[in-house]
Chain A
């Protein structure tokens, strides 16, 4: 009962108290550099004829996934270490749901659109 209020609050948080090795300034700086490069690449690809025109959306999606990967690894520190295992499993489940919702919606609505009668016949 002699503990301070702050300490009692701490005790209710699950897990053990421990000093962790921290990420480095270098990780953030490398991440920022890569993210800026990928962003500029996205804008260039969308505004020029660098890519074959029908391939531009695919190129943009690839660049976006690359940038999301950079953010996850360098900013959110999601790595292959044991401390990340649970986070990665949860992320995998989240990605599955996100994929099902987006791809499923687009697929179903595109199917409906192609099967529906034109609204007004000329």
Chain B
């Protein structure tokens, strides 16, 4: 009975039908792939939430050592934030160029994204090195352990994102923009935007509330 009903269904289904709600046939590959990657990103967010919780709990435990207000340079944090925000923007423009099958434009935006992400990492690494030099390394206090773990994990994510970007650009140069490469690129841009969201939490909780 059910099978017969399906067989009699019109061959052309209106695209207005809500696929995500079970009608209208299978979703397109890029929707399915992006959904799987979105689940990965959410699990990454759950991991970050544990680090945020640890920082929120330990932020007052300075053990007589330096506090955030003494250590943080908000001007640098603002520059870092702008670097990451602009790199998110150029990453989005790069993804759009790739979708419109303009590989040269994509590579240009990818270079911008890489430079801005690398600038972010450079400022962060310089700050970390300066803090360790002042004797405010991760082993100084519970506050600093939580700080270096949270901000450092975000930094490692940015660094691995940059490595993945180099790999993607190499793929685009070698293979052009077939559907599979385009989907990888889409997933990468989801990852990069998600890192920016984590950074919003970092600069709000760590730097602005503690600085």
Contacts and interface: CB of A to CB of B under 8 A. Distances in A.
B208 A43 contact: yes
B28 A72 contact: no
A17 B179 contact: yes
Interface in B1-49: 17-21, 24-35, 38-39, 42-43, 45-46, 49
A46 B210 CA distance: 10
Interface string B112-135: 000000000000000000000000
Interface in A27-54: 28-29, 31-32, 35-36, 39, 42-43, 45-47
Contact of A101 (B49, B92, B175, B208): B49
B167 interface: no
Contact of A72 (B29, B57, B89, B197): B197
A98 B208 CA distance: 21
A118 interface: no
B200 interface: yes
Given A15-B32, A71-B197, A9 B180 contact: yes
Interface residues of B, number: 61
Interface string B80-101: 0110011011001100100110
B28 A16 contact: yes
Contacts of A84: 20
A90 B34 CA distance: 12
A32 B200 CA distance: 13
19 contacts: A10-B29, A13-B32, A13-B183, A14-B26, A16-B29, A18-B28, A20-B31, A24-B96, A32-B86, A36-B82, A45-B208, A46-B74, A60-B204, A75-B92, A83-B20, A83-B27, A93-B42, A101-B49, A105-B56
Given A60-B208, A72-B197, A105-B57, 19 more contacts: A9-B180, A10-B29, A13-B33, A15-B29, A17-B179, A18-B29, A31-B89, A39-B203, A64-B200, A71-B196, A75-B193, A82-B17, A85-B18, A85-B21, A86-B20, A91-B42, A94-B45, A102-B52, A102-B53
